[in-house]
Structure 1
Amino acid sequence: MTELESLARSTLLPSFAGDAPPDWLLREVDAGLAGVTLFAINGNMPDSAGLAALTGALRRAGDPLIATDEEGGDVTRLAHLTGSPYPGNAALGAVDDPDLTAGVYRSLGAELAQAGVNLDFAPTVDVNTVPDNPIIGTRAFGGDPALVARHTTAAVRGLQDAGIAACAKHFPGHGATAVDSHHEAPVVDADRELLARRELVPFDAAIAAGCRAVMLGHLIVPAVTGTTPATLSPGAVALLRDELGFTGVIVTDALDMRGASGRIGIPEASVRALIAGADLLCLGPRERRDSLASVIVAIRQAVEAGRLSVDRLAESAERVRELKAWLTRPASSAADPGIGIEAARRAVLTTGEPRLTAPPLVIEANAPANIAVGPVPWGFGRWLPADDVLRVDPDDADAHALATAANGRPVVLVLRDAHRHLAQRALATALRSARPDTIVVELGLPIWRPPDGQYVAAYGATLANTTAVAELLGLTARLS
């Protein structure tokens, strides 16, 4: 292996399938691969003991970064089979207690450390200013830059107190978009002055808090990046390095996303990201042995063609080494098993006096899947017999038939981001017309709500969020 190939490997985070690292990956780790990204959809997240065994095997092969997207809310990898025991950022922002936010992230960090993960692609520090944002939503602390900034500070300190490297994302800010960068690169039409007082405020806070990494988003910000996504933009890196003063590791969002590589392919996107100044390349969940080899070849060819300098690669390799050295610091933090439900309870918003007096019929309205969230279970089925919970497609649901099916029982209608989905709002209006006593529960952002009646908003669909609502309605007492 040449020095150039070694430098290339030191910038790469591929993925793999299964609950044990394959031999090819162990050889790559031994050869100096920067690390890996773990994905639940790849089967990398078995139970806690299995995950610890997996990360232990990787660590015995070398000194890898072991990264994942564990935001602790709707986007969870550790708890992908059950839903997170922690509410997400929207709930924490609604409570607006930075000490609570720090405690939640410290406990989450302790769980990551126990599992052997050392780099968390969190917190999300986007300022969610577009209600129709399809990818951020409950992942953001809110829409006020100052609020997001103070909770960013708390989240970074909490994670890093537990010895986990935090990675603030998605620079320079994904909150003012109505397009999902998994499909195409959104355009944020904001001038430098607006960016400075809105999108960049939480990133300033993250840097001041000592955040070890920042993730570039696949966002076109003409005032900074021209027509190029930030992931591949020297202008975005210069803004982060030269103007905000960030000296840590710059990570790319997954390069398999169409917003980065849809027109040019992952090897070329990897080369352009390195040329722009990124240090660590997250390749994506399906980018494994063959993709890794292709990217290394593309990097070597870019150096040979004079497009990418060895010095640029060496800078990134050194920053990655510094991050790994930081991770050797002693850190001790224990998970707090009660803090998640405490935070979720404090976040619940109610109108009227929503309380059940008899076993209900719970109607859960499906919503289009958020790719970042993935197939994580949600809802109230754990507290009720199967026949008492109906999961419906709101486009096809018949409100009158549902009201009849309740047969006089109380009705609970569960929505997710009703403000983004006309069919959910129409179903809620029609059902409440038929049954004015219907309790409406919102598990997304409470931007739309019925004009009157009983209403509950949880700011998320996690296990913690739904447990808090179930307690409020009396479902948990009924189960016991």
Structure 2
Amino acid sequence: MDTIQSSATEVTTRPADPDRLRRMAAGTLMPGFTGIAVPVWILDAYDAGLAAVCLYGTNVASPVQLRELCAGLRSHAPNSLIAVDEEGGDVTRLHYRTGSNQPGNAVLGRLDDVELTAASASAIGHELAGLGINLNLAPDADVNSAADNPVIGVRSFGAEPDLVARHTAAWIRGLEDAGVASCAKHFPGHGDTTTDSHLSLPKVTADAATLDVRELAPFRALVAAGGATVMTSHILVEALDSDHPATFSSRILQDLLRGRMGFEGVIITDALDMAGASAQTGVPEAAVRALMAGADLLCLGSDTTPALFEQTLAAITRAVQAGRLPLERLADAAARTATLAGRFPAASAAEIQEAAVRGQGGLKETELLDGERIAEAFEVSPAAEKWLAREEPVAIVQVETGANFAVGHVPWGPAAATRAIVSEGEVPDGARVAVVGRGLDAEHPLWTTFARLRAEGHAVIAVECGLPRGGADIVTYGASLAVSQALTSLLLGGGSAS
């Protein structure tokens, strides 16, 4: 903390000329970019003081390509932050083309072994470190207190605050011991929402006492664990600030998080291109408001353009020049972010390439858990137990189901783990059938398929690759590749899932 304050003081004693302001402003920004190669404007921005970039699934085409991309970034900006949103489980960027080799938070919470959670985070951390990535926008520390939450769900360790708190602390420990900064999210808690902040501004109406014992418990665990960063949420928490979403609330970021809770690390915004942040103002103004409220590193979003980046830089510098944004606040944000990069030094371009040659680092294919241990987290009904004990041949029908913006278009379910998937019309006579989907509410099309197959005389079970919503015979609490392999093995009677 002393280093941060002294750096900020040193910066603010110098004249605030436009070039220095732009460089300082760039030191608070974390854009994404489109494509599988680093664009020239990102390299130019690094030369002009850019703090960080964030990689997304659309930046990944193959393991070799990703290593080359990261090595190129590290070659140009050896001491900067390269971030990624690698939660493991359903939300994965490294394994966007295949699905994650980690089970995910909901499964880990069900198993409730904090050392296992730390080991899962450590495995992710070593993958990231091997690629030169030194900031992971994880873990999700939300308490999933709304059963029909459309964007958190299996990303949470569960609905019980103490469980989420202890696993959040374990996940942070495992990741940071591997040399990668963590980012607990989404402060002050996105779990009690029924709308998605990618699409609109959710509101949390719980009273302050409930928030304190429920939503804030995992973030107190973050502070106690010394976690490096925290991510804000674009939600309106009426009991804490009825006028400003958390990302733009000094009451929440400064008075609560820094003041009463004692957090000393870096405050990172959720992506400012989300509707909950910028639908009314645009990204540049949202960036200014976030800095004013107390945020330090501004995530601009996956499809940042050079024009948007320049507009955001200009908006920040104008805000300082106009007296809206104190120079001291901007300097503090830039200094905190620079200190974070120094605290978590990354592998160099040469080290990334050496590790690739040796077959170490980055995109490991090994699983942390065997399928039987993952399957211990599944809910299996008595009807499913009887179905599993039958001797007829097995057919698996997967009913395609969209995912939220956080998950994206990642392979999921048995279709990610095996070729032994058939369409409804291809089910052989006499086969028993597992019909697989996710988000199985009463209107889900899976139930129509389920009813038709049962009417044809098949023994049928319904499988939910998510949280229980009622009616499913097997609930897996996730749809990552690791979970899907365990599910496929269970359905096929312990045989190969490939």
Whether the aligned pair in 2 keeps the contact of 1:166 and 1:213 (CA below 8 Å) is yes
Alpha-carbon shift at residue 158 of structure 1 (Å)? 0.7
Paired with 1:419 and 1:8, the residues of 2 have a C-alpha distance of: 46
Alpha-carbon shift at residue 469 of structure 1 (Å)? 1.1
| Pair 89,99 (structure 1): closer, same or farther in 2 beyond 3 Å | same
Amino acid at match of 1:344: I
Matching residue within 107, 117, 138 for 2:133: 117
Matching residue within 334, 337, 340 for 2:366: 337
Give runs of aligned pairs for residues 31-70 of structure 1, distance below 5 A: 31-41=48-58, 44-62=59-77, 63-70=79-86
| Pair 225,435 (structure 1): closer, same or farther in 2 beyond 3 Å | farther
Counterpart position of 1:82: 98
Amino acid at match of 1:25: I
Alpha-carbon shift at residue 377 of structure 1 (Å)? 1.1
User: What secondary structure, in the 3-state scheme, does the structure 2 residue paired with 1:290 have?
Assistant: helix
Counterpart position of 2:461: 439
Alpha-carbon shift at residue 449 of structure 1 (Å)? 2.8
Paired with 1:9 and 1:383, the residues of 2 have a C-alpha distance of: 42
Counterpart position of 1:312: 329
Deviates further, 307-316 or 419-428: 419-428
User: What secondary structure, in the 3-state scheme, does the structure 2 residue paired with 1:477 have?
Assistant: coil
Alpha-carbon shift at residue 364 of structure 1 (Å)? 1.7
Amino acid at match of 1:349: E
Paired with 2:215 and 2:451, the residues of 1 have a C-alpha distance of: 35
Matching residue within 183, 202, 208 for 2:224: 208
TM-score normalised to structure 2 length: 0.87
Are 2:488 and 1:473 equivalent residues in the alignment?
no
Whether the aligned pair in 2 keeps the contact of 1:45 and 1:78 (CA below 8 Å) is yes
| Pair 431,260 (structure 1): closer, same or farther in 2 beyond 3 Å | same
User: What secondary structure, in the 3-state scheme, does the structure 2 residue paired with 1:283 have?
Assistant: strand
Counterpart position of 1:395: none
Are 2:422 and 1:407 equivalent residues in the alignment?
no
Counterpart position of 1:101: 117
Give runs of aligned pairs for residues 259-408 of structure 1, distance below 5 A: 259-328=276-345, 337-341=366-370, 344-352=374-382, 353=385, 354-355=387-388, 357-381=391-415, 388-390=421-423, 402=424, 405-408=427-430
Alpha-carbon shift at residue 420 of structure 1 (Å)? 7.0
Paired with 1:125 and 1:281, the residues of 2 have a C-alpha distance of: 19
Matching residue within 131, 138, 146 for 2:147: 131
Whether the aligned pair in 2 keeps the contact of 1:69 and 1:121 (CA below 8 Å) is yes
Paired with 1:21 and 1:376, the residues of 2 have a C-alpha distance of: 22
Aligned length: 461
| Pair 28,404 (structure 1): closer, same or farther in 2 beyond 3 Å | closer
Gap runs ≥5 in structure 1: 391-401
Amino acid at match of 1:463: L
Whether the aligned pair in 1 keeps the contact of 2:433 and 2:458 (CA below 8 Å) is no
Give runs of aligned pairs for residues 159-170 of structure 1, distance below 5 A: 159-170=175-186
Give runs of aligned pairs for residues 454-473 of structure 1, distance below 5 A: 455-473=473-491
Counterpart position of 2:272: 255
Paired with 2:497 and 2:469, the residues of 1 have a C-alpha distance of: 31
Deviation string for 1:116-145 (max 9, x for gaps)? 211111000100111111000110000000
Paired with 2:434 and 2:333, the residues of 1 have a C-alpha distance of: 53
Are 2:206 and 1:190 equivalent residues in the alignment?
yes
Equivalent pairs: percent with the same residue?
44
| Pair 94,425 (structure 1): closer, same or farther in 2 beyond 3 Å | farther
Paired with 1:99 and 1:126, the residues of 2 have a C-alpha distance of: 20
Whether the aligned pair in 2 keeps the contact of 1:14 and 1:37 (CA below 8 Å) is yes
Paired with 1:289 and 1:3, the residues of 2 have a C-alpha distance of: 20
Whether the aligned pair in 2 keeps the contact of 1:383 and 1:475 (CA below 8 Å) is no
Amino acid at match of 1:210: G
Amino acid at match of 2:366: P
Deviates further, 439-448 or 281-290: 439-448
**Root-mean-square deviation (CA), in Å?**
2.4
Counterpart position of 1:416: 438
Deviation string for 1:228-286 (max 9, x for gaps)? 21111111102111111101000000000000000100000000000001000000011
User: What secondary structure, in the 3-state scheme, does the structure 2 residue paired with 1:103 have?
Assistant: helix
| Pair 170,72 (structure 1): closer, same or farther in 2 beyond 3 Å | same
Paired with 1:312 and 1:384, the residues of 2 have a C-alpha distance of: 53
Paired with 2:103 and 2:243, the residues of 1 have a C-alpha distance of: 36
Whether the aligned pair in 2 keeps the contact of 1:58 and 1:64 (CA below 8 Å) is no
Alpha-carbon shift at residue 288 of structure 1 (Å)? 2.5
TM-score normalised to structure 1 length: 0.90
Counterpart position of 1:177: 193
Paired with 2:147 and 2:454, the residues of 1 have a C-alpha distance of: 24
Give runs of aligned pairs for residues 15-34 of structure 1, distance below 5 A: 15-34=32-51
Whether the aligned pair in 2 keeps the contact of 1:73 and 1:139 (CA below 8 Å) is yes
